[in-house]
């Protein structure tokens, strides 16, 4: 069995990538709001299409907002985890590791 190791800088990099993804999700939501607006469609077939497009727009906005919330929260927690790994006393970590089931040392 190999030892579990964490490189805090790598965790920070992943946190940064998720933070970037959160920003992209926010920008995508703004893009959807801007370009899926059919406010001038009041007659004929456009009324039917407008309802469908508005439903799609709402779903996309909700999904992008949810993605933004999840990735931003994950980025925050990963940054905290990286900091924790930087500050954890090695001896304390070793003692804690030995309490895990299946750890035969």
| Distance (Å, whole) CA 47 – CA 35 | 17
Domain ranges of the chain: 20-87
- Give the mean pLDDT of 35-39: 85
| Distance (Å, whole) CA 56 – CA 63 | 11
In this structure, what token pair is assigned to residue 7?
Answer: 């490189």
- At a CB cut-off of 8 Å and minimum separation 6, what does 74 contact? 15, 18
**pTM for the structure as a whole:** 0.75
19 or 2, which is more confident?
19
- Read off the pLDDT of residues 39-87 as tens digits, 9 standing for 90 and up: 776 778 888 888 899 999 999 999 999 999 999 999 999 999 999 988 8
Q: Is the pLDDT of residue 25 over 80?
A: yes
The confidence band for 1, taking pLDDT boundaries of 50, 70 and 90, is low
- Read off the pLDDT of residues 85-101 as tens digits, 9 standing for 90 and up: 888 877 777 788 888 88
């Amino acid at each position: 069995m190999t030892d579990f190791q964490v490189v805090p800088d790598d965790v920070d990099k992943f946190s940064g990538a998720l933070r970037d993804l959160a920003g992209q999700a926010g920008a995508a939501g703004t893009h959807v709001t801007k370009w899926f607006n059919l406010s001038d469609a009041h007659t004929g077939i456009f009324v039917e299409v407008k309802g469908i497009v508005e439903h799609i727009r709402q779903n996309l906005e909700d999904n992008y907002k949810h993605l933004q919330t999840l990735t931003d929260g994950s980025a925050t927690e990963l940054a905290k985890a990286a900091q924790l790994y930087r500050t954890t006393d090695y001896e304390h970590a070793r003692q804690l590791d030995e309490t895990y089931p299946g750890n035969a040392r």
